[in-house]
Amino acid sequence: MASTDLTLAVSLGALDRLARPAHALEDATTWTSHVGIVSSEPSYIERRRVREAGYHQEFLSGPRSIAEALSAVRGHFETERYVLVGTDETAGVVGTVPDWAYQSVTEAAKAAGWQLESVSTADDDWP
């Protein structure tokens, strides 16, 4: 069985891809030590989106880049593993931050049993 001594950072972009993002964050708290949200958006937008959605988190990126936020989180939370769940836009970030691993939201959703947001094709023929 995998260790739960894990710090998990999820990008806002990844949360946007999930059908039930709040549920996914709640679920993650049952098998991780720490869960937080990171974003490259300005901190006031990040805080507003998190607050309005009611997302559970232990950390936000704040007025820092995602790489800076992950470095700060690494220094604050001592766990065996550090994983960023993100999208193509955030995939390269972990290459610049020691000790962090990247997992795409698609892979994470499959492994955790989270449902991805379905893309509606109802308007494909419009007009």
Q: Give residue 98's domain range.
A: 6-112
- Residue 123 placed within a domain: no
The 8 Å CB, 24+ separation contacts for 113-121 are: 113/27, 114/18, 114/19, 114/20, 114/23, 114/24, 114/27, 115/18, 115/19, 115/20, 116/17, 116/18, 116/19, 117/16, 117/17, 117/18, 117/19, 118/19
Task: Provide the number of structural domains found in the chain.
Answer: 1
Residue 122 counted as domain residue: no
Is 14 a member of any domain?
A: yes
What would the pLDDT profile of 47-106 be if each residue is shown by its tens digit? 999 999 999 899 999 899 999 999 999 999 999 999 999 999 999 999 999 999 999 999
- 119: pLDDT confidence band, cut at 50, 70 and 90? low
Summarised one tens digit per residue, pLDDT across range 7-62 is: 999 999 999 999 999 999 999 999 999 999 999 999 999 999 999 999 989 999 98
CATH of the domain at 24: 3.40.50.1000
- Residue 116: its pLDDT value, please? 97
